[in-house]
Structure 1
Amino acid sequence: MLALIYYCVAIGLVNGELHMRYFNWAEPDGATSGFVDTSRITIENSLERLTAVRAELKSYNVTAYIVPTSDAHGSSSLSPADARREWLSGLSGSSGTLVVTDNEALLWTDGRYFTQFEMQVDTTLWTLMRQGIDLSIDQWLTANMAPNSVVGVDPTLYTRSAWIPLQTALEAGNVTLKAIAENLVDKARTKIGDPPPDRPNNPLIPLTREFTGRSSSEKIAELSKQIQSVGASALVLTALDDIAYTLNLRGSDVLFNPVFFSYLIIKDVPAPNNVILFWGEGGLHTNISTHLQSEELEIQTRNYLDIFEYLSNYSNSLPDDSTIWLTSDASQAIFLAAESDKVNIRSTLSPVALIKCVKNDVELKGIRNAHIKDAIALIRGLRWVEEQVAAGTNVSEIDVSDKLEELRRSEVDSHGPSFSTIAGAGENGAIIHYRPPREGSRVIGPDDMLLVDSGGQYKDGTTDITRTRHMSGSPSDIQRFMFTNVMKGQISMATVVFPRGTVGHTLDSFARRYLWNLGVSYGHGTGHGLGHFLRVHEGPSWIQAAPSSTDPGIVEKMIFSNEPGYYEVGEYGIRHEDIVEVITVNKDADHVHAQDIIGDFDGAGALGFYTISLVPHQTASLNITLLDDFEIKYLNTYHARVLATIGPILKQRNLTEDYDWLERECAPILRDAAILVKTSPLLILISVVTLWFRA
């Protein structure tokens, strides 16, 4: 399920190289630009949109203009108000950066979107630049911009960590990188009668300690200690999920993401003047004020748009040699506002990101419970689609998406999907970030392999899971072969033991090893963090092929996805994804290697994963002869746990058909039975009789 994204890495894609060389920093599930109104975004009117933007370039005297996929907070999922790259190019999805000049229009994206580019973008106007293969953005600009050229960009959409390298590269060629406060895409949209929608400012949602495990005042106190320890006067938070986590508030300003547009400043002065929230028009509804009072937190509120002026005035009011702490995911505009001759800027990974990626016990309990609810919804949905297809009923991919949303919303404390459901049948399953269209969605046939990557938002946790199932349970030999090798990689990752502090990059090859043996791989990362009723992709730790310089190392109570895949373009896609919890592995652990443990890596500590997703894999699509005894035992044990956990709930709800389906799908794998499919009818009869006598 695509991502996704570690903020400074995500925005760092604008220079075309930062962690993108191997196409695997982001995951396959649903980081999207929201549900953009695409009725006016067609290949037929691509030239009109591009011409309008080029007119703005002329009026601002810039030679080239960069359009990244971002908002002012470095988000991976965008509101329609910020979906500028999609509006201009037509390419939907989570990754892409545009460069527009008078005679060139280029789109940089990664391997997940090469096929999608050909389908959605006017290739007579736009040139695909394959990240990691073609020139990076800074290389292309350096090679193609004449001396004294000006490259424009909206500084709210670029992190400082991306801005400086690009600026340095351009200056070497006597080219200026210019910050333009007015966004030229927004201006172009308005002039052709298709203005960007208003920025959402929806009501806030209080999240009580029953779900969070810690009050917001406790979190602020911890951050205040860190601010004091580094000698800073204030910490400025700009990432929306950091702010939501810190204040124990949620929102609905970004589709699928329970966050709200805001900035937060925490000062080193005593309360009530130490916490300032920039949100909406600066007021709070009574229920939110009451919630914050119950958490013993007093805050000031100001208009969302006041952040830049306030930060500039604050910086200039500080004593000489003061320090303001900015996170490395903050925009260039935030840095420019905070900088003055009087202050020092401390820039690091967000301390909130480091805190929230390690879940507390209440959060862990909630996430596990959310996955039980989510499993019920997905099991019911998978049973439904298979029975509909078997009965000859026309069921489309969008029907599957709608059904899963309906079933998830029926569960307690549901807040809908955690991303746009990927339901790809047949060849659409090979489009890694596929989103079925509302009109013209593919009808699912009995011979289709169906890849369903979906998730839910619940007050007690966020979920994300992928299951690939052949609709008749009789895939081709090559599909069965690849399905099994992807499964072997997922089991390898699920059962690995590693030293505490290992970075995610080190583990990635465990999931790829069986595909690598075949000379193939997949163009996305193997694992991403998971928020607690927050983003479905949460940093700063990632399990991916490319190393990340800011990976803090894996420790207990982190949450990751485990999602290897294989994609045969034009034919089918396969992905197996579970969510796993990082646990200590010792003799008492619930881990397959617990009894084998004889050390703890010389005191570093032995860690492993515990799978908390609870939906059966389709064993009918496995080639059992390719699995060893360990792998069969793992699957049988997992399916027994799924049935023991979910089965009683289905019975209690009188969901008899769903229970019967689950019981069949969780039946143990018998190697002798698997051999039958490769034998003659006579040998089958002999084997059946033999098995009957054994029983």
Structure 2
Amino acid sequence: MLLTMDLKTSFILWVCVCSTGFAHNYGSDCVHDIPHEITFVQSRENCTLNHMTWTRLKKMQDLFSNYGLDAYIVTTQDAHHQQGGSPHDRRLEAISGFDGTIGAAVITRNKTVIWTDGRNVDAAMRMDCGWQIYRKGAKGIPSLTSWVKAELQNISRPIIGACPSLMAAVWWKNFKLSFAKNNITMLEIEDDLVDQVWEDNRPPQINVTINALPLEFAGRSWQDKMTDVHHEMAKAGVDILVVSDLDENPWLFNMRAFAFGFDPFFYSFAVIERRTRITRLYIIDHKSMLSRKPSDHEVHVTLERHLDIGEGRCSVRVTEPGYVESPDSAEECVQNPVVKVGEYNMKDVVRDITRVASLPHTRKVWLSPYCSYAVYSAVPTDKIYQDITPISILKSTKNPVEIQGMEDANLLDSVAAIRFFARLEKEVKQGKNWTVYDAFHEIHNYRKQIPHFRAPAFRTLTGSGPTAAPIYNMPTPEDSQPITREHMFMQDSGGQYLNTGTTDMTRSFHFGNPTKVEKDIYTRVLMAHINLAELVWPEGRTGHDIDATAREPLWELGLDYSHETGHGIGAYGGVIEGPGRISSTFADFISDVPFYASIFTEDENINKFPDPTEYPLRKNMFFTVEPGYYEMDNIGVRMENVMYITPAHVNQLSSRCKFLRFETITLVPYESHLIDYNMLSHTHLDWLNEYNSRVLQKTAPILERFGDTDALAWLMKRVENVTREPLH
């Protein structure tokens, strides 16, 4: 949630401290949805002190003497580089009350400071008294490292601690290099200090049932996928692959569970040994989990049977110089990889990684760029191969069954949205009371009527008028804007479907008489949307290469939006999926500034995460396309469809060059009376008419089967063939 301007009150202390080289240069100076002025909050009026969190904080500081610490770093990350994960892992919230997703805090013996971004400043304002708040990426604020160095400069041989299991190796290495310049030691605290003091009211580790994903929906068995992974490992000369990213094991093993949030994932690690064909999978309560009855009524096998536990036919041993001997043929061994399941325990995982990495025949160990420092440091430096994993790449390129599942799910999801939007407009015009919180919940009820629906894909974002401007507009019952005929309404929502479908769709409407400004902005965003939807580009280009195509209609007026134009999307998987994304800014849908902003100075950001905008776009990848425009407390417009990449047939002078294009599978009409058709080019009009024709052809028969005449009438008004109005 973005911070609104009403926080410019006497309790905010505006300061300008030593520059770190981090000007606010993230391509967002010309946008109007980020409160650039807010930099530093030292004290707050009407803040509260939660006795429970304050007591934990004091107990934690009391532990400093046990380790000789002068400071300690706590972030919102969990062991999988996940921001704001399950309630069990919200350690920063447990000692401060900060309930946002982006936060890095430093606790000294007498001070507590947090760095957070613009979308989480509201959450920071709810923190306990005594915390100082820095706005990441704002002009003039110190980096976390600069602040620590200044704070500890008068201490002889200072030591700062952190838990290596809860910090990405990329960050840990940068911290270590930075602090070493000032003779500050970075100390590994294996048993995290927050864990040591969080004894009261801690939510238990989530232990929901993990279900097998039927082969009819997955398209390929987990054994076939594992063989593909082994093949990619062999090409890279890698013997061991450590799987630590949370979206990879669910796809690889054809298993799903909603253990946290809205993505169908579960906490797990895996260690894949290519030469022995043995994989060790670590999950919570593994003994019980393997034999549990499935919780999904369309799944009929236990995990034990699904994973073929104890029935693998590869009895193998490794001999020098690393060849596999087996009573079965090598081909049979490849076809039947073995899985051994153990308990999800960080110490056991690190121990096993250390063991297999130290074997003489292990040449290289493949690690994710996002792995924790505990995982990274378990492998000898000369054996580390760190790159985007083969699972990430294979997962993003959908197989034919996944493609069909995505098309089917997005079609029916579009029908559900059409039915809801038709009802909403009708009842708002009738004068019935609707709030954005009502709309936030009600669209979910329409998705429940779709076969295979399992859960929302994310927390629905809904806004009306001034509340549509924040990118993360999440309403509450206590603070919910009414939906009226005077303001624009925007909703971003999606669903998770068992038949391998994930949806993500945004539409903006006006149920009254829009102003010329509202029509101009809406039409510009539509032009941006169509520009990318109709684009043809050479194979091998990246999301960064094509992003400007979408922004150009807004740039013409000196306007822009601060978030990415699109992101990869999974098939009954992550609503935001790597490895690629479409953007020319450093901001994304998780944070309005890079994660490293104001954490390190520019010269300290030596070790970096991969830039997803530089990853080539490939055939059969699915992306959202969602340009927008926002002004705080005024207007918010966004249009979003799911699209997948297909070959493009173009006239070519050389057959050596292949081209790609998008195929749109979200089929919800646009708000026709918000469009100024005279602003559209003939190409825009042709695309819009073709899109409307497909929407009508595919959704109308389903609406008829539902017997929803109101929705059908609503649809018909918005899919008529359109032309430019004659000039007078």
Match of 1:344 in 2: 383
Mapping of residues 627-638 of structure 1, within 5 Å: 627-638=680-691
CA distance in 1 between partners of 2:84 and 2:217 (Å): 24
The yes-or-no answer on 1:604 pairing with 2:657 is: yes
Q: Secondary structure at the match of 2:383?
A: strand
Partner of 1:682: none
Contact preservation (8 Å) 2:543, 2:615:
no
Equivalences, count: 626
Q: Distance in 2 between matches of 1:97 and 1:22?
A: 20
Task: State the partner residue of 2:176.
Answer: 167
Q: Please tell me whether the aligned partners of residues 493 and 506 of structure 2 are also in contact (alpha carbons under 8 angstroms).
A: yes
Distance 1:470 1:95, change over 3 A: farther
* Matched position secondary structure for 1:581: strand
CA distance in 1: counterparts of 2:507 and 2:653, whole angstroms:
34
Structure-2 residue corresponding to 1:324: 365
Q: Does the C-alpha gap of structure 1 residues 313 and 353 become closer, same or farther in structure 2, counting only changes over 3 Å?
A: closer
> What residue in structure 1 maps to residue 715 of structure 2?
662
* 1:256 partnered with 2:262: yes
Aligned counterparts of 2:496 and 2:682: Cα–Cα separation in 1: 37
Q: CA deviation at 1:185?
A: 3.6
- One of 541, 547, 567 as aligned partner of 1:508: 547
Supply the distance in 2 between the matched residues of 1:99 and 1:532 (Cα, whole angstroms).
38
Percentage identity across paired residues of the two chains = 29
Q: How do 1:27-106 residues align onto structure 2 when only pairs under 5 Å count?
A: 43-45=47-49, 49=53, 52-53=56-57, 55-60=59-64, 61-76=68-83, 78-86=85-93, 92-102=99-109, 104-106=111-113
What residue number does 1:465 align with?
505
Map of 2:192 onto structure 1: 183
Equivalent pair of 1:23/1:131 in contact (CA under 8 Å) = no
294-303 vs 255-264, greater mean Cα deviation: 294-303
Q: Is the counterpart of residue 126 in structure 1 residue 132 in structure 2?
A: yes
Say which is worse superposed, 290-299 or 540-549, in terms of deviation. 290-299
Does 2:354 align with 1:301? Answer: no
1:358-386 CA-partner distances (Å, limit 9, x unpaired): 11111111111110111011111111222
Match of 2:326 in 1: none
Aligned to 2:561: 522
Deviations 1:557-605 (A, max 9, x none): 111111111111012211111111111111xxxxxxxxxx322776231
Structure-2 residue corresponding to 1:244: 250
Show the counterpart of 1:335: 376
CA distance in 2, matches of 1:646, 1:384: 16
Alignment check: 8 A CA contact 2:579 2:615 kept: yes
Match in the other structure for 2:303:
288
Q: What is the alpha-carbon distance in structure 1 between the residues aligned to residue 364 and residue 21 of structure 2?
A: 31
Is 1:141 aligned with 2:148? yes
Matched residue, 1:204: 210
Residue type of the partner of 2:373? Answer: Q
Pair 1:604–1:254, CA change in 2 (3 A): farther
Paired residues of 1:186 and 1:196 also in contact (CA < 8 A): no
Matched position secondary structure for 1:671: coil
**Which position in structure 2 is the counterpart of 1:451?**
490
Superposition RMSD in Å: 3.0
Q: Which moved more, 1:413-422 or 1:502-511?
A: 502-511
Question: Per the alignment, in what secondary structure is the counterpart of residue 651 of structure 1?
Answer: helix
**Deviation digits for residues 456-495 of structure 1, max 9, x if unmatched?**
00012111011111232x2222222211111111111111
Distance (whole Å) between structure 2 residues aligned to residue 321 and residue 19 of structure 1: 45
| Cα drift, residue 526 of structure 1 | 0.8
Equivalent in the alignment of 1:497: 536
Aligned to 1:279: 283
2: distance between equivalents of 1:19 and 1:666?
46
CA distance in 1, matches of 2:25, 2:148: 18
Q: 1:261/1:118 Cα in 2 relative to 1: closer, same or farther (>3 Å)?
A: closer
Q: Distance in 1 between matches of 2:497 and 2:690?
A: 27
The separation in 1 between residues aligned to 2:654 and 2:505, in whole angstroms, is: 32
Structure-2 change in CA distance of 1:651 and 1:572 (3 Å):
same
Alpha-carbon separation, structure 2, partners of 1:74 and 1:118: 21
Whether contact under 8 Å (1:65, 1:99) holds in the other structure is yes
Match among 285, 302, 314 for residue 355 of structure 2 = 314
- Over residues 113-164 of structure 1, what are the superposed CA-to-partner deviations in whole Å (9 max), with x where a residue is unaligned? 45x4586557974323232644443344345442633332222221112211
What do residues 204-224 of structure 1 show as CA deviations (whole Å, max 9, x unaligned)?
111122112111001111212
Contact 2:353 2:375 survives alignment (8 Å)? no
**2:225 pairs with 1:216:** no
**Aligned amino acid, residue 555 of structure 1:** R
Shift, 1:554, TM fit: 0.8
Contact residue 22 and residue 132 of structure 1 kept, 8 A = no
Distance 1:452 1:321 in 2: 51
Q: Which amino acid aligns with 1:667?
A: E
Aligned 8 A contact 1:430 1:572 in 2: yes
Contact 1:503 1:552 in 2 (8 A): yes
Q: Which residue pairs with 1:152 in the alignment?
A: 161
Aligned to 1:388: 427
Q: How far 1:515 moved relative to its partner? A: 1.9
CA distance in 1, matches of 2:273, 2:473: 44
Which of 487, 492, 515 is the equivalent residue of 1:476? 515
More deviation, 528-537/501-510 = 501-510
The answer (yes or no) to whether the contact 1:23–1:132 under 8 Å persists in 2 is: no
Give the whole-Å Cα distance in 2 for the aligned partners of 1:398 and 1:361.
38
In 2, the alpha carbon distance for the partners of 1:335 and 1:237 equals 12
Contact 2:215/2:221 (8 A) holds in 1: yes
Structure 1 residues 538-549: aligned runs within 5 Å:
538-546=577-585, 549=611
Q: Which residue of 2 is the match for residue 406 of structure 1?
A: 445
- Report the alpha carbon displacement of residue 112 of structure 1 after superposing the two structures with TM: 3.9
Residue 641 (structure 1) aligned to one of 670, 687, 694: 694
Whether the aligned pair in 2 keeps the contact of 1:429 and 1:572 (CA below 8 Å) is yes
Q: 1:452 to 1:531 in 2, by over 3 A?
A: same
Are the equivalent residues in 2 in contact too, given 1:21–1:132 (CA < 8 A)?
no
Partners of 2:196 and 2:510 in 1: CA distance: 48
Contact 1:216–1:297 (CA<8 Å) still a contact in 2?
no
**Number of the residue aligned with 1:689:** none
**Correspondence for 1:671:** 724
Change (3 A) 1:635 1:76: farther
User: What residue number does 1:374 align with?
Assistant: 413
Deviation at 1:391, TM superposition (A): 1.8
State whether residues 73 and 105 of structure 2, in contact with CA within 8 Å, keep that contact through their aligned partners in structure 1: yes
Residue in 1 that maps onto 2:674: 621
Report if aligned partners of 1:263, 1:307 keep a CA contact under 8 Å in 2.
no
Whole-angstrom distance in 2 between the partners of 1:614 and 1:582: 16
1:412–1:159: structure 2 CA closer, same or farther, 3 Å change rule? same
Q: Deviations over 1:649-691 (max 9, x none)?
A: 1112211111111111222334328x8xxx9xxxxxxxxxxxx
Query: Is the contact made by 1:619 and 1:669 (CA closer than 8 Å) also made in structure 2?
Result: no
Q: Could you say which structure has the higher helix fraction?
A: 1
Choose 384-393 or 577-586, whichever is displaced more. 384-393
Q: Report the secondary structure of 2:483's partner residue.
A: coil
Deviations 1:216-272 (A, max 9, x none): 00111121223334443321101121011110111111121111111111112445x
Paired amino acid for 2:282: F
Distance 1:615 1:440 in 2: 29
* Deviations, residues 41-90 of structure 1 (Å, cap 9, x unaligned): x9523686357425413422433333323221123562122233455555
* Structure 1 unmatched ranges of 5 or more: 3-15, 25-41, 587-596, 680-695
C-alpha distance in 1, partners of 2:379/2:445? 49
One of 394, 398, 402 as aligned partner of 1:363? 402
